[in-house]
Structure 1
C-alpha cells in the first residue's frame, strides 16, 4: 500500500528560492563567481536537508551536515593544493569508509557523512581559485544563509502561545496516534496503528530532547518542563496501549475520546475536560485506566505552566559510537569506500575534466541506508537524463543564457528542491539542473553531455561493486539491526525484573526504564526500515537465498511488545518471575542477538519453552524460537 507523501510547506519552497539563487547572483554581480558558486552549493545541499519538523530539529538537521560538508571541502581542497591528482584515490577510500561507517550511527549522521564525502570529492576536483579555508567558509556561509531563512520564514503554527517551535504539536500528535491505535484494537490494522504510535512517540521524544539541549532564548529550559511532564504521561499511556494490543481485545470507541481531548489540550493550552470513566476488567485495562487518571492529574497541574519538581527525563539514550565498528558499520564503510575509490580511479584514467562527478554520483547511490541499490541506480540515471534535457531546453529557449537567466533558473530549481525530496529521480533531475547552472557560471558551457556519460559509468560501477560476494549479502546489515533491538530489549528486561526488592517490587527507576524501552522501539524501527530495503533489493549473483525478513520483523515486534507487557504487569503487582527464569529469557535474547550479528556464523541451540507462569515471557521465548527457525532455514 502506497503512503501519501506529506505536503511540502510553501515556506520551504520560498526558502529554496531565496537560498542558492541570490547567492549565485551576488557572486556574479561582484565579478567573483567562484565564491558565489560555493555558497550557492552550500545553500543547495542545505535545502536538501531542509525537512519538516520543529525549529530546533531544522537547526540540527541543516547545521550538522553543513559543518561536515565544510570540513570535507576543506580536506579536499587541501589535498588538491598539496598533492597530485592520484592522491585523490586513497583519500576517497578513507573518507568513504568513514562516511559509510557513520551511516550505522543514525540517519542524521548518515546525512552529514554523505555531505562530507560529496564535498571532499568536489574540493579535490572542482577548479576554483582561492585558499582552501576560504572555500570552506564560502560553502558554510551558504548553508548558514539558508538556516537563517529557516529561522525567519516559518510555517504558520497551530495557535496558542509559544507553539511556533513545534514541540507542542509533536506531543499532541502522540495523543492523536494513541487514539487511532485504540480505535484499531482488535482489528486488522492494529499493528500498523501501533507502529504509527511508536513513530509519533519517537519524534516527540527527539523534539523534546533537542529542546533541552537547545533552549530557545526567552523561553529557557524551564519552559519545557510542563510539556515534558505531559509527554511523560503520553509515554505511560502508550505503554499501557501496547499492553492492550498484546491482549488482543477491542475496547469501546469512547476510550479513544480521552487521548483526543488531551491532544486538543496540548495544542490550545486549555483544560482537558472530562475523560472516559474507568472500566478495569483486566490487568492491561487497569494499567491504561490508571495511566489515563495520572495523565488527567498531570494536565490539571500543568495547566498554568507549572511542572512538578524533578520532572523525569524520558529521552532515549544517545546512539553508541561503537556502531561504526559493528559488522554493519564495517560493511557500510567497505561498500562506500570501494565504490567511490573505484569511480575516482576510472575518472582519472579517462582524464575527465569533471572527474569528481563520478565519485560524487557513486556517493549518492551506494549508501545502503538510503534505499534499494538497483532502484536508486535506475532513478539516478533517469533523473540525470531528465535534468540534462531540461537544462538544454532552457538553454535553447533562453538563447544566449546570460547571467540573469542563469540566476532565474537556479531560483526556480532551488524552489523545487523541498518538493523533489519526495522521489530520488525527481531530486536528481532538479539537482542536475542546479549543478549544470553552477558549472556554466564557472565558465564551462559544454558540461551537459559529459554529465550523462559520467553518470552512466558511475551507475555501472556501483552496480558491479554493490553485488560483490561480500557486499551483496544483506544478512550482515539487517541482522545487526535486529541484534541491536534484541540487546536493547534484554537490557530493558534486566532493568525491570532484576535488582533489590521482593516479588512485588516496582521498577527501580521509571525514567531509566522508559529510556531503555524507547531505545528498543527506536532500534526496532530502524531494523524494520533496513529489512524493507533488503526485501526490495534485486537478488545478486552471489547473494544466496534471501531470508524472510518480514517474518523476523513480526517476531521481533512481538518480543518487544511482550517485554513491555511483562514490565507493566510487574509494576501493577503481578508476581515477578524468578531470577532463574529471567536469566533464561535474557540469555536467550543475548544468544539470538549474537547469532543475528554474525550473518555467516552457525546458530546456537534453539531457545527453550520459557517460564510456565509468565505468559508474556513465554511469548518472548516462542518468538525467539521462531527467529531461530527462520534464520537457520535461510
Structure 2
C-alpha cells in the first residue's frame, strides 16, 4: 500500500510544475504497475511489471496515431476497425501466458486511451511519461524493504518466503497423508513449487547465481524437490504417518524464513521405499543447509509455459480469444463513437478488461464490474462535491491526494474484481479532471453498463467451429507432459535430475489445466457445456501422474523393484485415461 501511494509521486511533481496533463500518463503507468505487481520475488517482478509497461507505452504511442489514419471525418468508421485489428493481435498474444496476457491488455487499453483522451502531449511524450510512471513504481518494488524482515538480504525476501512455502507445503502434505485433505494438500504443494520456481526465475536468479545468498536459495529449492516427490508418494499410498515425519520439513521451512540453522531433523523409520526416500531427501537437505556457499545443489528447472508462445498465439485458443477481443473492442468503440459520447474511449477500455477470462467467469466479472463502477462513481461524485467547495484554494491537489489514496488501495482491492473496479473508477475519474476534461461520473456508469452488455453478448455469441480451445489446449499439454514423465520413469528410473524436470512439468501443466477447467465450469451452461467432458480426462491424468511419482520412488529405491500392484494400477489408469479421451471424442468435446 505504501508503494502504491508513493507511485503517484510523478503525478504530484507534474502538478507542482503546473503540467498536470503530463502527470496523467505517468499515473496510468504507475496504476497498471500496481495492478500487475503480485506477491513474490523482487527480481521476477521486473518481467511481471516491466514487460507489460513496455507494451502499454507502445499502445499509447500507437493509439495517439490512430485518429490521423484514414480520410478526414471518417474516424467513426476507421477507428473501430483499427482498434478491432489491434484487439485481434492483443487477444492472440494474451493466450500465450500470464505476462503476455498483461501485455496484451495494456497494449490495447493504452491504445484506446491514446486515441480518445485529449492530451496536449505528443504520442512520444505520452509513451515516455507512461514508462516513467511504471519505472518509478517498479523501482519502489525493487528498492523498498518489506515490512516483515527475515534472515538474509532483504532483496531476497520474496524468494526466501516462496522457498520456505515449499517446505511448509511438504510438511502439510505429510500431515494430511491418509486423510480426506490429502488431495488438496498435494495441490497446495504444486502451487507452492510453481510460485518458488517463478520467484527464482527472475533476472540474475539463474543456475549460476551472482551471490552466496542466491546460491543458497537455489540449493535449498533443489533440496525440496526430492522431499516433495517422497511426500507425494507417501500420500498416494494412503497411509496415516506419524507426526514426527512432518517435523523435519517444518523445521527446514523455519530455517529458510529466518536464516537460522535447521538443527537436528527427526528421521522417519526406514520401513518402506517412500519413507527411505523421505529420509534420504532429509539428509540431502540437511547437507544443503549446512553448506553456506550454496554450491552443493543446482536448481532443477521445469518448463513453466504451456507450449511455444508463437504456436499458441496462432493456434485455435489464440484465434478464438483474439476474435472475441476484437469484436468486443471494435463494437464498443463503434457504438460509443456513433452515440457521440464525450468520453467514448471508456467503453472499449471497459470491454477489454471485461473480456479477460483470467479475471473470473464472464457473468461474475460483468456483475462485479457494474457494481464496482456504480460504487466508484458514487464515491467520486461525493468527493467532487466536497472538494468543489474549496477548489479555488486547493486547485488540483485534492485530486492528486485522491489518486494517491487509490494507488494505496489497489493492492487490497485486487482481491476482488468489484473492489478493484471501484478503486480504479475513482482514480480514472480524478485523472480525467486533471487532464482538463469535464468530470462525468454518471456518464461512466452508463458507458460501463453498455460495455457490460456488449461483452455479455459477444462472450456467448456462437462462432464458427468449436469453443473451449484454451481448456482443450491446456488439457492436451498436461496429458502430453504426463506421458513424457511416465516414459522417463520407466525407461530411466535412476535419472533423478531428469525425472525432476519432467515431474515439475507434469504437475505444473496439470495445475494449469485444472485452473482452466474450474474457470470454464463456473461459466453459464452455453459456455461451460463445451468443456464439460474434460473433467474426466483431468481426473484420470491426475491419478496417473501421482501413481507415476509413487513408481519413481520405488524404482529409485536401492532395494525395491516396481511392485506388481503398482504396475497393475498404472495399466488400469492408462486405460482410464484412454477411455476418458474416447468418451470426450464421442461427445464432440475433444479432438
Q: By the TM > 0.5 criterion, same fold?
A: yes
Shift of 1:150: 1.7
Q: CA 1:352 to 1:139, structure 2 compared with 1: closer, same or farther past 3 Å?
A: same
Indicate conservation of the 8 Å contact 1:69/1:119, yes or no.
Answer: yes
Name the counterpart of 2:515: 529
Q: CA 1:233 to 1:548, structure 2 compared with 1: closer, same or farther past 3 Å?
A: same
Q: 1:182 aligns with which of 171, 174, 177?
A: 174
Q: 2:94 aligns with which of 70, 79, 103?
A: 103
Name the counterpart of 2:568: 615
Confirm or deny that 1:59 pairs with 2:46: yes
Q: 1:627 aligns with which of 557, 566, 580?
A: 580
**1:4-54 CA deviation, whole Å, 9 max, x = no partner?**
xxxxxxxxx11111222x333322332322211111111111111222222
Question: Where do residues 265-414 of structure 1 align in structure 2 (5 Å cutoff)?
Answer: 265-300=255-290, 302=291, 304-308=292-296, 311-319=297-305, 320-321=308-309, 322-400=311-389, 401=391, 402-414=395-407
Confirm or deny that 1:29 pairs with 2:19: no
Q: CA 1:103 to 1:559, structure 2 compared with 1: closer, same or farther past 3 Å?
A: farther
Confirm or deny that 1:512 pairs with 2:498: yes
**1:74-93 CA deviation, whole Å, 9 max, x = no partner?**
11112234446233223322
Q: Secondary structure at the match of 1:614?
A: helix
Distance (Å, rounded) in 1 between the aligned partners of 2:27 and 2:294: 46
Q: CA 1:72 to 1:545, structure 2 compared with 1: closer, same or farther past 3 Å?
A: closer
Name the counterpart of 2:487: 494
Q: CA 1:102 to 1:566, structure 2 compared with 1: closer, same or farther past 3 Å?
A: farther
Name the counterpart of 1:4: none
Q: Secondary structure at the match of 2:420?
A: helix
Indicate conservation of the 8 Å contact 2:372/2:418, yes or no.
Answer: yes
Q: 1:112 aligns with which of 103, 126, 145?
A: 103
Distance (Å, rounded) in 1 between the aligned partners of 2:25 and 2:122: 13
Q: TM-score under structure 2 normalisation?
A: 0.91
Q: CA 1:102 to 1:174, structure 2 compared with 1: closer, same or farther past 3 Å?
A: same
Q: CA 1:178 to 1:138, structure 2 compared with 1: closer, same or farther past 3 Å?
A: same
Distance (Å, rounded) in 1 between the aligned partners of 2:65 and 2:494: 55
Name the counterpart of 2:539: 554
Indicate conservation of the 8 Å contact 1:324/1:330, yes or no.
Answer: yes
Shift of 1:488: 1.2
Q: CA 1:187 to 1:472, structure 2 compared with 1: closer, same or farther past 3 Å?
A: farther
Q: 1:122 aligns with which of 83, 91, 113?
A: 113
Indicate conservation of the 8 Å contact 2:212/2:294, yes or no.
Answer: no
Confirm or deny that 1:50 pairs with 2:37: yes
Aligned length: 574
Distance (Å, rounded) in 1 between the aligned partners of 2:143 and 2:203: 18
Confirm or deny that 1:14 pairs with 2:2: yes
Give the stretch that moved more between structures: 276-285 or 332-341: 276-285
Q: CA 1:551 to 1:423, structure 2 compared with 1: closer, same or farther past 3 Å?
A: same
Q: CA 1:26 to 1:496, structure 2 compared with 1: closer, same or farther past 3 Å?
A: same
Question: Where do residues 147-186 of structure 1 align in structure 2 (5 Å cutoff)?
Answer: 147-166=138-157, 167-186=159-178
**1:137-178 CA deviation, whole Å, 9 max, x = no partner?**
011101111112222323234432225422222111111111
**1:377-397 CA deviation, whole Å, 9 max, x = no partner?**
111111111111111111112
Q: 1:143 aligns with which of 131, 134, 143?
A: 134
Q: 1:564 aligns with which of 549, 552, 556?
A: 549
Name the counterpart of 1:483: 476
Name the counterpart of 1:606: none
Distance (Å, rounded) in 1 between the aligned partners of 2:205 and 2:219: 17
Give the stretch that moved more between structures: 278-287 or 62-71: 278-287
Name the counterpart of 2:434: 441
Q: CA 1:92 to 1:204, structure 2 compared with 1: closer, same or farther past 3 Å?
A: same
Name the counterpart of 1:581: none
Shift of 1:531: 1.1
Distance (Å, rounded) in 1 between the aligned partners of 2:510 and 2:528: 24
Confirm or deny that 1:425 pairs with 2:378: no
Name the counterpart of 1:41: 28
Q: Secondary structure at the match of 2:201?
A: helix
Distance (Å, rounded) in 1 between the aligned partners of 2:403 and 2:207: 35
Distance (Å, rounded) in 1 between the aligned partners of 2:147 and 2:30: 23
Distance (Å, rounded) in 1 between the aligned partners of 2:407 and 2:424: 8
Q: Secondary structure at the match of 1:469?
A: coil
Give the stretch that moved more between structures: 97-106 or 339-348: 97-106
Q: Secondary structure at the match of 2:202?
A: helix
Distance (Å, rounded) in 1 between the aligned partners of 2:125 and 2:377: 30
Name the counterpart of 1:457: 450
Q: 1:259 aligns with which of 232, 249, 257?
A: 249
Distance (Å, rounded) in 1 between the aligned partners of 2:173 and 2:464: 39
Q: Secondary structure at the match of 2:525?
A: coil
Can you give the 5+ residue segments of structure 2 that lack an aligned partner in the other structure? none
Q: Secondary structure at the match of 1:220?
A: coil
Q: TM-score under structure 1 normalisation?
A: 0.85
Indicate conservation of the 8 Å contact 1:46/1:66, yes or no.
Answer: yes
Indicate conservation of the 8 Å contact 1:211/1:221, yes or no.
Answer: no
Can you give the 5+ residue segments of structure 1 that lack an aligned partner in the other structure? 1-12, 499-504, 578-610
Shift of 1:366: 0.5
